[in-house]
Amino acid sequence: MDLAALDNILKQTISAIEKGKEQIYDIAESARQEWARVKKELEQVKKETLETIEEVDRLEHQERAARRRLMEVSKNFNRYSEEDMQTAYEQARQLQIQLGHMREREQQLRRRRDQLEFSLRRLEETVKKAEDLVSQVGVALRFLTEDLQGLTSKLEEMQQRQSLGIRVIKAQEEERKRVAREIHDGPAQSMANLVMRAEICEKLLEVEPGVVKHELSELKSMVKASLQDVRKIIYDLRPMALDDLGIVPTLKRYMAEFEEKHGLDVDFSVTGQEQRFSNALEVALFRIVQEALNNVYKHAQARQVSVKLELMPEKVNLVVIDDGKGFHLDKVMAESDKDTYGLMGMRERVELLDGIIRINTSPGRGTKIAVQIPLNV
């Protein structure tokens, strides 16, 4: 699974939804502006319609009066002149024409008013729907964002665990190579020499029996040395005392041997009630101390080392401090493929147990490794 590609797809999905929300908001805003314009125009049309109706009423009254005048002049033509008759006729005709125009305008305004009222209702519905949709998309986006953020976190966690698993497998393979190399260079070579010396002893028994005793003595020394090498390899793989005695006695024995072998003063202190822990936790604590002390011996040029183990009801704290020359932590961590200090291995062991590791160091100021592991594993 390409987790990075999937994470990118999720982020693009959220971005597309956010853009869609913005577009819906723009549509709602445009509809709202159009609604305001139509409403203003409708108010103006209503005003003009009312004025036109009043004008039609006024012209109808005048037109009726003009028709009555025309009828009176026509009936009493002997009392009125031809000019009076012509004037009455023109007035009535002009009023009829004006009245017809105004009635037509009234009908147009009424139709326009009805159209605007219909458009206004449609725009009101559009605005309401758009606003509701913006709200719904906002709620959905919020829930979706929260869920996808959680999924993104899970993907990142999966990526980290995948990377951690790969590093663990790589570390296992490196450990197998190291053990194979140590067996090949140590016990395997010694055993080959033992076979050869045993053959020599067989031949000497026939020709120089007196020399055989010396050869057997050397052969016994070689067997003892080979046995020590084998025990060392076994101890490095897993100290038997860890299974039998627990973490505290095993660390005490290991640090006593470390002091005797390397001549370095190690101050070991334990606080809290000694108890047995899970196999994974005890192995992790031992390996961290082992790696830290090896670093001190190989790189730190320290005079003194302090190892503090704090056993608490809910967690275990481990602190290793040396007064050596220190190092550039960022530089070492960046060169993970050249992890001479074994810091990645320490971190991986701690993270697998849901713990926390802090490394404080700088050139000339020594090194402090602080580990905290919860007792829930």
Q: Give the CATH number for residue 29.
A: 1.10.287.2610
CA distances from 200 to 188, 192, 193, 209, 253 (A): 19, 13, 10, 11, 40
One domain for residues 109 and 217: no
pLDDT exceeds 70 at position 4: no
User: In which domain, by residue range, is 345 found?
Assistant: 239-374
One domain for residues 200 and 248: no
CATH value at residue 259: 3.30.565.10
Instruction: Encode pLDDT of 123-160 as tens digits.
Output: 888 888 888 887 777 776 676 666 555 555 666 666 66
Arithmetic mean of pLDDT, 24-40: 87
Structure tokens given for 179: 């053990």
Higher-pLDDT residue of 94 and 165 is 94
Task: Annotate 113-125 with b (16+ C-beta within 10 A) or e (fewer).
Answer: beebeebbeebee
One domain for residues 229 and 271: no
Higher-pLDDT residue of 186 and 251 is 251
Band (367; pLDDT cuts 50, 70, 90): very high
One domain for residues 158 and 12: yes
One domain for residues 106 and 36: yes
Q: What is the mean pLDDT of the chain?
A: 81
Instruction: List, as one string, the DSSP characters of 265-331.
Output: EEEEEEES------HHHHHHHHHHHHHHHHHIIIII--SEEEEEEEE-SSEEEEEEEE-S----HHH
- According to the per-residue pLDDT averaged within each range, which of 34-48, 72-86, 206-220, 223-237 is highest? 34-48
Band (22; pLDDT cuts 50, 70, 90): confident
What residues form DSSP beta bridges with 374?
Answer: 315
Last residue of a domain, one of 233, 252, 268: 233
One domain for residues 139 and 177: no
Arithmetic mean of pLDDT, 164-193: 68
- Long-range residue pairs from 1-5, CB within 8 A, at least 24 positions apart, any chain: 3/155, 3/158, 3/159, 3/162, 4/159
Last residue of a domain, one of 179, 203, 233: 233
Number of Cβ within 10 Å of residue 51's Cβ equals: 12
pLDDT at 46: 92
Band (104; pLDDT cuts 50, 70, 90): very high
Under a CB-based contact definition with an 8 Å cutoff, are residues 266 and 305 in contact? yes
pLDDT at 375: 87
One domain for residues 202 and 116: no
Instruction: Encode pLDDT of 317-348 as tens digits.
Output: 999 999 988 888 888 777 655 555 678 778 88
One domain for residues 229 and 243: no
Domain count, the chain: 3
CA distances from 285 to 130, 291, 320 (A): 61, 10, 11
Arithmetic mean of pLDDT, 277-296: 88
Lowest mean pLDDT among 30-44, 137-151, 211-225: 137-151
One domain for residues 344 and 223: no
One domain for residues 130 and 15: yes
Give the amino acid at 177: K
Last residue of a domain, one of 101, 128, 163: 163
pLDDT at 158: 64
* Ranges assigned E (strand) in 144-300: 265-271
pLDDT at 344: 79
Instruction: Encode pLDDT of 44-87 as tens digits.
Output: 999 999 999 999 999 999 989 988 988 888 888 778 888 888 88
Give the amino acid at 31: A
pLDDT at 85: 85
One domain for residues 52 and 113: yes
pTM for this one? 0.49
One domain for residues 186 and 149: no
